[in-house]
Amino acid sequence: MSVITRKDVPVEETWDLTPIFANDEEWEKAYIQVEEDLDRMLHHNADLESAKNTLDLIRKYDSLMERFSRVSSYAFYKYSEDGTDPENQHRLGRSQNLGKKSYNLSTVIVNQLLQLPKATVQTYMEEESGLHAFHRFLEKIDNLRDHSLKPEMEDLLSSLGRTLNAPNSIYLTITASDLKFETVKDKDGKDVPVSLFMYMTQVETSPDTVLRRNAYQSLSNGLKKYQHGLVQTLTNEIHKNVAIAKLRQYPTTMDYLLHYDSPADNNFYAGDGIPCDYFEDVLDTFQKELAPHMQRYARLRKRQLGLDKLLFSDVKAPLDPDFDPPISYEEAGEIIVEAVGVLGPEYQDLMRKVFADRWVYRGDNVGRRMIAFGGGVHGVHGYSFYPWGGNLFDVILLGHELGHAIHLTLASQNQKFINNGGSLLFIEAPSTLVEHLIVQYLRENRDDPRLHRWLNMYLMMSYHHNCVTHILEAELLRRLYKMADKEIPLTTSIISDTKGAILSEFWGDTVEIDEGAKLTWMRQPHYYMGLYPFTYSIGTSASTVIAERIKEDGVSVGEQWTDVLKRGGTLGGFDLYKMAGLDMTTTDVIKQAIAHIGNIVDELENSF
């Protein structure tokens, strides 16, 4: 990782946050105003005796939440640039305090609306057409009726919002600021610094076996020092969810997590409401049907790399070690913009703005966030954080994060803020589709057999990440939550050994699962996001099938997809997929995607 500071990062490698706020002083003014308005609404007794009064309240709430979103996003983005900067730390801390008030207000508003009988809400919507704009928000609240608590209990949980989110905050702070790893040697004897982000995005897929294995050992040693502390953080997260699930009278904690969005995101009203049986079917399907293809690929990797044994540090090693084409950020932008043309001119024009208007932070400086992301600010546009490495691999991963940014931009342009809590079941489809489109574009426009083979290997890496790594994360969560529901203590050894058993079951005898592999539960913040990891596999399966349809039928399919993105959170995940022409209520699309992965392995075996 670089040793330059934030102030030394060239402007062109930073994002332009001025569309959110022109400067820190404007943020300060907005902060004060939002805080005053939150306090005012919190202490105002709402009159919901008429449809008009109810609409007025919801409109004020929607406007205030959108303004709060701007304030909190700005603080988070500045902190992502440099988490060691005291001003950024202070700004984020104040934003989190404001978030507590916004969460309290959300609780109050929802509690008030829950006091209205369902029939009254329906009558109000018939009397006041303006309420139709907030139909999804009202639908989600209605879905809470069977699991809502007394208003004073909801208020209590709301007041504890920041404390309840403490496990996630502690994990992110430790991995971003405290966790350090020893520098290692590459095959040429040169020193290479190790960080969590650079290991997962660069080193893990490096052609240098010496570097990969040395960095993996450094990573494992560094994680091991924190395992007992972070296991307490994780178990606190799990036990918190178990307690809330019981309080809300869900049959299991997984049922609760599949019904609710994350309280930390102020989307505490109902999420997709996915049946627990569906969640478990998805996990079982991937582990049963995908494992044979991945084991074949592991054996191919071992043969092609000439390794006596395939270590866990080798499972993402490139099969063509000498092929690693460098690429500039400017050329990456040109490729991505052209690749998404099949989604229609509206989508493509937004992608042009990404690079023309600096929506991406790509600087490599001390204190920057370790994990890439794509986000958006309602009423502004999307943003992405991606430390740029400078090769073709980065082009496609950057495309993934920009897929999130454009999706959120389209949604915010077309939907009310409080309607727009995105479906977790759908959220990873727009991002992984961009990956597929970049691969298709390069295949069609670059006549290089070696590149085409590399693209197949990239797809396998992407499927590995989305349909193996994340599915196995979800599998660990499934087992841990079932243990916790049965009040089985979750110790360091139980969590690590369970992770090791899951990896061994999936990879069979093709990959050696060592002590470091058992610690991979420490690498990702996903364990603090409910059952979120499994949604990657749903989105990736859907985008695989949509990409094939676009290839066959052209822009009409792509434009239909763009229209779906505009619906934002106004539909549940299954309904969004249905609008795109996919039935995701069964595992049929997943099985199609797994068959596609098997075909890629066939091609790679033949190519070598």
Number of domains in the chain: 3
Residue 300 and residue 380 in one domain: no
What pLDDT, in 10s, does the model give residues 58-100? 999 999 999 999 999 999 999 999 999 999 999 999 999 998 8
Calpha distance 60→560 (Å, rounded): 33
pLDDT surpasses 60 at 266? no
What pLDDT, in 10s, does the model give residues 462-516? 999 899 999 999 999 999 999 999 999 999 999 999 999 999 999 999 999 999 9
**What does the buried/exposed string (b/e) look like for 461-476 if buried means 16 or more CB atoms within 10 Å of the residue's CB?**
bbbbbbbbbbbbbbbb
Residue 410 and residue 294 in one domain: no
End-of-domain residue from the set 488, 506, 528: 528
Residue 518: per-residue pLDDT: 97
Q: Is residue 356 part of a domain?
A: yes
Half-sphere exposure of 214 (CA within 13 A, CB side): 19
pLDDT confidence band for 271 (50 / 70 / 90): low
End-of-domain residue from the set 504, 528, 552: 528
Mean pLDDT of the chain: 92
Of the two residues 402 and 262, the one the predictor is more confident about is 402
Q: Is residue 170 part of a domain?
A: no
Residue 62 and residue 160 in one domain: yes
Q: Is residue 598 part of a domain?
A: no
**What does the buried/exposed string (b/e) look like for 162-172 if buried means 16 or more CB atoms within 10 Å of the residue's CB?**
eebbebbebbb
Q: Is residue 169 part of a domain?
A: no
What pLDDT, in 10s, does the model give residues 358-412? 999 999 898 988 788 999 999 999 999 998 989 898 999 999 999 999 999 999 9
The reported pTM is: 0.90
Neighbouring C-beta atoms of residue 179, cutoff 10 Å: 18
pLDDT surpasses 60 at 262? no
pLDDT confidence band for 542 (50 / 70 / 90): very high
Sign of the alpha-carbon torsion through 72, 75, 80, 83: negative
End-of-domain residue from the set 493, 528, 563: 528
Contacts of 40 (CB under 8 A, 6+ apart): none
pLDDT above 70 as % of the chain: 98
Residue 308 and residue 346 in one domain: no
Residue 432 and residue 469 in one domain: no
Residue 500 and residue 553 in one domain: no
Distance of CA 581 to the CA centre of its chain: 24
Q: Is residue 172 part of a domain?
A: no
Q: Return the residue matching tokens 């569906």.
A: 278
Residue 389: per-residue pLDDT: 87
Q: Is residue 93 part of a domain?
A: yes
Of the two residues 271 and 60, the one the predictor is more confident about is 60
Neighbouring C-beta atoms of residue 174, cutoff 10 Å: 15
Q: Is residue 119 part of a domain?
A: yes
Query: Which domain does 588 fall in, by range?
Result: 329-462+535-592
Long-range contacts, stretch 159-167, CB < 8 angstroms, 24+ apart? 159/100, 159/104, 161/99, 161/100, 161/103, 161/104, 161/263, 161/264, 162/96, 162/97, 162/99, 162/100, 164/240, 164/263, 164/264, 165/263, 165/264, 166/236, 167/233, 167/234, 167/236, 167/237, 167/240, 167/528
pLDDT above 90 as % of the chain: 77
Task: Look up residue 467 and give its DSSP letter.
Answer: I
Residue 308 and residue 393 in one domain: no
Calpha distance 334→356 (Å, rounded): 11
3-state SS, residue 178? helix
- The closest of 105, 93, 111 to 67, measured between CA atoms, is 105
Please state the rounded mean pLDDT for residues 415-437.
91
Residue 270: per-residue pLDDT: 42
CATH of the domain at 406: 1.10.1370.40
CATH of the domain at 38: 1.20.140.70
Please state the rounded mean pLDDT for residues 324-339.
95
pLDDT confidence band for 561 (50 / 70 / 90): very high
Residue 271 and residue 287 in one domain: yes
CB 28 within 8 A of CB 68: no
CATH of the domain at 502: 1.10.1370.20
- The closest of 540, 474, 467, 459 to 291, measured between CA atoms, is 467
Please state the rounded mean pLDDT for residues 240-267.
80
For 94-136, the three-class secondary structure string (H helix, E strand, C coil) is: HHHHHHHHHHHHHHHHHHHHHCCCHHHHHHHHHHCHHHHHHHH
Residue 419 and residue 563 in one domain: yes
Per-residue tokens: 179: 């966790």
> H/E element holding 244?
helix 227-247
For 8-75, the three-class secondary structure string (H helix, E strand, C coil) is: HCCHHHCCCCCCCCCCHHHHHHHHHHHHHHHHHHHCCCCCCCCHHHHHHHHHHHHHHHHHHHHHHHHH
Residue 56 and residue 17 in one domain: yes
Please state the rounded mean pLDDT for residues 204-212.
90
Residue 19 and residue 149 in one domain: yes
Q: Is residue 176 part of a domain?
A: no
Residue 341 and residue 305 in one domain: no
Q: Return the residue matching tokens 């570097």.
A: 211
